[in-house]
Every structure is written in structure tokens, then in C-alpha cells.
Amino acid sequence: MNSQELRDALRQERIRDDAYDLDGGHLPETYPLSEANGKWFVYYSERGLEGGKKEFASETEACEYLLNKLNKDPTAPV
């Protein structure tokens, strides 16, 4: 799974667009997906801080983790 496939899956699962950021930013109260130096990261962004940051070796692993994380978050659905 890549980030575009993840975006499609999140929309199909009816997850709010403002619950995540697939461009690696620091939007408030979102779960960003980011890449740096060949590693992928998922974290919770709040007030510029990166809480619960997880590192992954591949985009697929990071995307699958984020999809599962958002599906379990009761505040994420539309």
C-alpha cells in the first residue's frame, strides 16, 4: 500500500480528511505520515509536537499502521 492507496482506503472507510495528513506536516490534532532518509513515520501532531512517533522501514508498513490506527480512533469517522 502506498499513500495514494491509503488515501483511497481512508475515504472508503469514511475517515475525516482532517484526521490525518499524508504530506508529513504538523497540522493540529492529526495523524501525519512522513518520510525522511528512506524511513517512514507516523505520529500524532498536537501543537507542533510529535506524540507516539513510530518508525517503519517501508511505506507499506507505515500506511497499514496508520489505516489501523485511524480505524480504531473513535473520533476519526465522519
Q: How do residues 5-31 score in pLDDT, each as one tens digit?
A: 999 999 999 999 999 999 988 889 999
pLDDT at residue 50 above 90?
yes
- Give the phi and the psi of residue 61 in degrees, each rounded to 5: -60, -45
Domain boundaries, the chain: 3-72
Cα–chain-centroid distance for residue 19?
8
What pLDDT is recorded for position 78? 87
* Diameter of the chain measured on Cα atoms: 34
Rg over alpha carbons for the chain, rounded to the nearest Å, is: 11
pTM of the model: 0.93
